[in-house]
Amino acid sequence: MWRTLTRTSLVTAVAASAAVLPVSAASAAATPGPWDCPTESLCGWSEAGFMGKVTTFRPGAGCLDAPFPLRSVASTHRDGTGIPVAMLVYSGKDCTGKLLGSVSGAQSLPTLPADGLSVMSVW
């Protein structure tokens, strides 16, 4: 009987640790996301998927050239509280060229169709 209980306990312990391992491994690998952008900010990343270098843009600042080509953008401003904030991303410097996308109130674009070289930050 002792031998059966020991074997049962061992099997239970191994099964329990096997069930926990995949969860631990998955939670250890942090997936990048727009939540890396500070609260109430407009952010741009040098790579798609919110990876690489990150920069922030001042809300309502007008047209600003990006310090590096942007490949993903996000806004962590909340909708419905105060003045709405939006950021439009352009393919050329000085807010020229093609409009590549825009974000406002807790929106994000994980991939832009081309390099964003400037943004229009408006209230």
Q: Residue 13 is encoded by which pair of tokens?
A: 């312990």
Quick one: 62 and 97 in the same domain? Answer: yes
All residues at 6 or more sequence positions from 12 whose CB lies less than 8 Å from its CB, including other chains: none
pLDDT band, very low/low/confident/very high, at 78 (cuts 50, 70, 90): confident
Spatial CA neighbour of 76 closest among 29, 121, 36: 36
pLDDT at 32: 52
> Distance of alpha carbon 71 from its chain centroid, rounded?
12
Tell me how far CA of residue 104 lies from CA of 7, 23, 31, 80, 120, in angstroms: 59, 34, 22, 11, 12
User: How many domains are contained in the chain?
Assistant: 2
Domain carrying residue 8 = 1-30
Average pLDDT over residues 31-59: 86
Quick one: 56 and 102 in the same domain? Answer: yes
Range with lowest mean pLDDT among 21-35, 54-68, 74-88: 21-35
Quick one: 109 and 72 in the same domain? Answer: yes
DSSP 8-state class, residue 93: G
pLDDT at 80: 57
CA distance 97 to 94: 9
pLDDT band, very low/low/confident/very high, at 69 (cuts 50, 70, 90): very high
Average pLDDT over residues 115-119: 98
The amino acid that residue 10 corresponds to is: L
Quick one: 79 and 109 in the same domain? Answer: yes
Quick one: 116 and 100 in the same domain? Answer: yes
Quick one: 85 and 110 in the same domain? Answer: yes
Quick one: 24 and 71 in the same domain? Answer: no
Quick one: 5 and 42 in the same domain? Answer: no
pLDDT, greater one: 40 or 10: 40
| Statement: the pTM of the whole predicted model exceeds 0.85 | no
Q: What are phi and psi of 116, to 5 degrees?
A: -90, 120
Answer for the pair 52, 112: CB distance below 8 angstroms, yes or no. no
